[in-house]
Amino acid sequence: MPQKTKRTPMMEQYFSIKEQYPDCLLFYRLGDFYELFYDDALEAARLLEITLTSRNKNAEDPIPMCGVPHHSAKEYIRTLIEYGKKVAICEQLEDPKFTKGMVKRDVVQVLTPGTYTEYSQQHANNYLVALKPLAQDSYALGYVDVATGELKGTCVQSMEEVRSECSSLKTRELVKVGDFSSEALEEMCLYFDILPSTLATEDIQKGSFDALLEDIEQEDVYEVLEGLLSYLAKTQKKSFTHLQKASYYERDFYLFMNYEAKRNLELTSTIRTQQKQGSLYWFLDETQTAMGARLLKQWIEKPLVLQTDIEERHDLVESLTQHYFERIDFIEALKGVYDLERIVGKVSFGTANARDLLQLKQTLAKVPVFRAIADSLNHPKWQKLKQQLHAIPELYERIERAIDEDAPVSLSDGNIIKKGYHEKLDLYRETMAHGKEWIAQLQQTEREATGIKSLKISYNKVFGYYIEVTKANLSQLDDSRYERKQTLSNAERFITPELKEKEALILEAEEKSSLLEYELFVAVREEVKTYTEQLQELAKAVATIDVLQSFSTVSEAYQLTRPTISLMDRSLEIIDGRHPVVEKVMGRSSYVPNSIQMSPEDHILLITGPNMSGKSTYMRQLALCVILSQIGCFVPATSAKIPIFTKIFTRIGAADDLISGQSTFMVEMMETNTALRQADPTSLLLFDEIGRGTATYDGMALAHAIIGYIHEHLTAKVLFSTHYHELTALSDTYEDLKNVHVGAIEKDGEVVFLHKIMEGPADKSYGIHVAKLAGLPSSLLNHAENILTILETNSQANISLQEDAPVEKAEVEIVETSATVEVPRVESEQLDLFTSNLDQEVLEEIKSVRVMNLTPLQALQFIDQWQTRLKG
């Protein structure tokens, strides 16, 4: 930092504060502005698009500076937080009017992406995550939503699980407890756009949060949560009353899906647009409240695995489906519910205003309605929920008596408290009202006494009440009664002793009444605090009802059925299942339902069929049915028997993973590796077109070997789709492999997809037909047909993978071998397309032509010539 100019005392102060917050943009309060200096100024000016100026403009080394007005700082701060920055708010701690020398200043709060409650979107949680490394690759992980007070912790066994957690929590900030470094973690933060923050070991406030962490027995989890709460205390510089008692959870409590699986299955957003529209969340979201929407998302991210828990939700949904009117009543009641979780949070921060308390009151008013509906549903499970629906009538009463329905947002201008709530306040108000009446009367009598019709009594902040007489009328005034106060160009202002006396009374009453109103309001707000736990429980119960009604509403609208859960018997039987999202988009009548049946012994379902016929849709359909069932919803099928799965892995092709800089094929192999290594007997694996990203034989060999491996090592349920129809012969060798295919028929040389899954293998690839559908030039298509014929003849029969094919690139152990048959040696996928029967001459020409020397027209002509010759 520049040292040349002697620092002023103010800059000394600035530096001493900035030093403590090196990773923040320091908003340094100077009068009505927050000022930023040096690098902070450069960065903020750029991000906020505000003017960069400088302090000591004429000095040799002017200080870069920019500022934002104090009253509109909120928006600027929000923008910076959205950019993933941290902002330290440094306030003046003394009133400059009464201070000699430097005003004391200090940071009162640090706003960060993970803690800034104003940032949170209504329908999403904003989690701050903390991580503490344990032995090997395991970690203790804790998270908190500052707005709602949710606080949880767990242990995870690998960086992959950290990724999975962080992605489902939509983490924006991650606190490294104990300030460690990890390359893998940094990569993850970069990938998910998470701001890494650190908490030094000495900043951990040991033992300060024992009450909140009472239920945490696991020591590591205790420590990571202690770190998380210390970070919160360090940045927010106040204590919160709304933080919920920390609870411990384990990955095994939920169906595990890694980040890739959740993304591939488009649970909460689509791969292509990253939007809700088109996701499972979009399909399911008929919630009426923000709390419900947030809970729904949490349920989708964490499907259950315990049969009783799952069936409890199914029971509740079923009862709502059977009781239409009760469901409609719930929906109506939910419409009058406000965001309780957030209101309780605001009460804890001390930022709740009168409107928030009114919303709380209106919400409480609905509770008896919810309770009555729960009663009329007459089901033990509803009784359980009802016990959490606390109406808290005394709190309702209190707000009802105290807070005026028309209270303003501001807490300093009065009109918050109702008449009759507090005697003294009523007295002040009377004095004010009487005083004003009295002044109006005085104006009247003064006018009559002086005969000046334009005489008026007014008020301003500097002089208080005064009598104003225009210059023209001055002569009519009896000077002895009036004391001159102020001279204007065309009028004089006066006061009289009696006006002064009344003024003192009125002003005192006004000032005291607003102060008293504020105090009374804060007292009510403090009282709300004492109900925090009950209100949070109520909020959770209402949110649960909202999600359940949403499930029920969707189940009715899309004719979903209650699944039967088979725990011990791992057979799977979904009759006429549908992909919920695809069906919703294309309409019920266009979607062809498909069944899936796998006996306990069936492990691998090999799905063949042409491109675009519906293989991927079919596989996702199963995964989504499993997830729907395990979050407690019904499933799109006419009947469904589904075992409980504990993990889902996917390998579903998508675009290159540009952010992480890996090729599609590399990603494909990494996902495959994860799935094969981590799958257990209760896992579901989806392999969609494995090996497509590499050369044909290479890919086919890999696909074959993967199936062999699954057969040998796993008993999980595996869906394996492939366009290599040669693989279907494997059912002869592997008794746990079953072939199905997506039907297509050829009509007048055109292929028609039936989107219907049928028993047995597909007999043809139909690739060229799909190319035709896509409208490729007919000469090209003819050419392809020719090549295909040649290839098929050359290899005498279909290339069978039963044979030990001499595959160039991949050294794969091929499991079964019998006789050896000549298979054409191929170097790469494209090669044979050209070399088999093409005119060598043309090839040479293409090789030797100097592309850069050609005009586009010449190039076209060349191509035309070659084409004619080749067709020749």
Whichever of 442 and 592 has its CB closer to ligand ADP, that residue is 592
Whichever of 654 and 781 has its CB closer to ligand ADP, that residue is 654
List beta partners, residue 139.
Answer: 133, 156
Question: Biggest alpha carbon distance in the chain?
Answer: 131
Tokens of 47: 């991000």
Binding partner of residue 787 among Mg ion, ligand ADP, none, CB under 5 to 8 Å per kind? Answer: none
Residue 718: CB minimum distance to ligand ADP, A? 17
Whichever of 744 and 823 has its CB closer to ligand ADP, that residue is 744
* Residue located via tokens 């800089």: 661
Binding partner of residue 532 among Mg ion, ligand ADP, none, CB under 5 to 8 Å per kind? Answer: none
Whichever of 79 and 611 has its CB closer to ligand ADP, that residue is 611
72 is in an annotated binding site: no
45: how many CB neighbours lie within 10 A of its CB? 18
| 8 Å CB contact between 815 and 709 | no
Residues 382, 375: Cα–Cα separation, whole Å: 7
Q: In 3D, which of 219, 193, 188, 189 has the Cα closest to residue 206?
A: 219
Whichever of 455 and 727 has its CB closer to Mg ion, that residue is 727
Q: CA separation (Å) from 572 to 597, 623, 718?
A: 6, 12, 12
Q: How far is CA 628 from the centre of its chain?
A: 20
> Based on the number of CB atoms within 10 Å of its own CB, is 577 exposed (0-12), middle (13-18) or buried (19 or more)?
buried
Choices 159-167, 368-376, 398-406, 608-616; region in contact with Mg ion by CB under 5 A: 608-616
Please report the beta strands in 723-800, taking only residues with DSSP state E, as ranges in sequence order: 737-747, 750-759
Whichever of 520 and 605 has its CB closer to ligand ADP, that residue is 605
Whichever of 589 and 817 has its CB closer to ligand ADP, that residue is 589
**Is the alpha carbon torsion for 133, 136, 137, 139 positive or negative?**
negative
Whichever of 464 and 653 has its CB closer to ligand ADP, that residue is 653
Q: Tell me, by CB under 5 A, how many residues bind Mg ion.
A: 1
Q: CA separation (Å) from 545 to 298, 310, 390, 772?
A: 14, 15, 14, 51
Residue 678: CB minimum distance to ligand ADP, A? 25
Q: Which residue is nearest to ligand ADP (CB)?
A: 614
For the chain, report the end-to-end CA distance as a whole number of angstroms: 77
Instruction: For strands 572-577 and 464-470, give the pairing.
Output: unpaired
Q: What are phi and psi of 101, to 5 degrees?
A: 75, -155
616 binds Mg ion (CB under 5 A): yes
Residue 733: CB minimum distance to ligand ADP, A? 25
Binding partner of residue 594 among ligand ADP, Mg ion, none, CB under 5 to 8 Å per kind? Answer: ligand ADP
Residue 263: CB minimum distance to ligand ADP, A? 17
Residues 215, 196: Cα–Cα separation, whole Å: 28
Q: CA separation (Å) from 168 to 190, 263, 298, 801?
A: 16, 10, 8, 41
List beta partners, residue 551.
Answer: none
Residues 146, 237: Cα–Cα separation, whole Å: 13
Q: Which residue is nearest to Mg ion (CB)?
A: 616
DSSP state of 543: H
Residue 264: CB minimum distance to Mg ion, A? 12
Helix (H, G, I), strand (E, B) or coil at 467: strand
Residue 695: CB minimum distance to ligand ADP, A? 20
Residue 592: CB minimum distance to ligand ADP, A? 4
Residues 230, 733: Cα–Cα separation, whole Å: 60
DSSP string, 650-716: EE---S-BTTTTB-HHHHHHHHHHHHHHH--TTEEEEEESTTTTS-HHHHHHHHHHHHHHHHHH--S
Binding partner of residue 624 among ligand ADP, Mg ion, none, CB under 5 to 8 Å per kind? Answer: none
Tokens of 849: 């032509």
Residue 645: CB minimum distance to ligand ADP, A? 21
Residue 687: CB minimum distance to ligand ADP, A? 12
613 is in an annotated binding site: yes
Whichever of 163 and 579 has its CB closer to ligand ADP, that residue is 579
- CB contact set of 585 (below 8 Å; sequence gap of 6+): 278
Tokens of 245: 């008692």
Choices 73-81, 87-95, 444-452, 609-617; region in contact with Mg ion by CB under 5 A: 609-617
Please report the beta strands in 488-566, taking only residues with DSSP state E, as ranges in sequence order: 491-495, 564-566
Whichever of 615 and 704 has its CB closer to ligand ADP, that residue is 615
Residues 507, 515: Cα–Cα separation, whole Å: 12
Residue 620: CB minimum distance to ligand ADP, A? 8
Helix (H) or strand (E) holding 381: helix 380-386
Binding partner of residue 617 among ligand ADP, Mg ion, none, CB under 5 to 8 Å per kind? Answer: ligand ADP
Q: How far is CA 125 from the centre of its chain?
A: 6
614 is in an annotated binding site: yes
451 is in an annotated binding site: no
Q: CA separation (Å) from 757 to 606, 650, 744?
A: 11, 20, 10
779 is in an annotated binding site: no
| 8 Å CB contact between 395 and 525 | no
Binding partner of residue 755 among Mg ion, ligand ADP, none, CB under 5 to 8 Å per kind? Answer: ligand ADP
Binding partner of residue 432 among Mg ion, ligand ADP, none, CB under 5 to 8 Å per kind? Answer: none
Instruction: For strands 456-460 and 127-133, give the pairing.
Output: unpaired
Q: Where are the alpha helices (DSSP H) in 151-208?
A: 159-168, 183-192
Residue 609: CB minimum distance to ligand ADP, A? 6
Residue 542: CB minimum distance to Mg ion, A? 41
611 is in an annotated binding site: yes
608 binds Mg ion (CB under 5 A): no
Whichever of 173 and 689 has its CB closer to ligand ADP, that residue is 689
Residue 689: CB minimum distance to ligand ADP, A? 7
Whichever of 260 and 583 has its CB closer to ligand ADP, that residue is 583
Binding partner of residue 612 among Mg ion, ligand ADP, none, CB under 5 to 8 Å per kind? Answer: ligand ADP
Whichever of 326 and 689 has its CB closer to ligand ADP, that residue is 689
Choices 97-105, 441-449, 613-621, 848-856; region in contact with Mg ion by CB under 5 A: 613-621
Residue 412: CB minimum distance to ligand ADP, A? 59
Task: Tell me how many degrees the CA angle 481-482-484 measures, rounded to the nearest 5.
Answer: 155
Whichever of 163 and 772 has its CB closer to ligand ADP, that residue is 772
Residue numbers of the site for ligand ADP (CB under 6 A)? 582, 590-592, 594, 609, 611-617, 755
Binding partner of residue 142 among Mg ion, ligand ADP, none, CB under 5 to 8 Å per kind? Answer: none
Residues 263, 654: Cα–Cα separation, whole Å: 10
Binding partner of residue 765 among Mg ion, ligand ADP, none, CB under 5 to 8 Å per kind? Answer: none
Q: Where are the alpha helices (DSSP H) in 111-246?
A: 159-168, 183-192, 219-236
612 is in an annotated binding site: yes
Binding-site residue positions: 609-616
Binding-site ranges for Mg ion (CB under 5 A): 616
Binding-site residue positions for ATP: 609-616
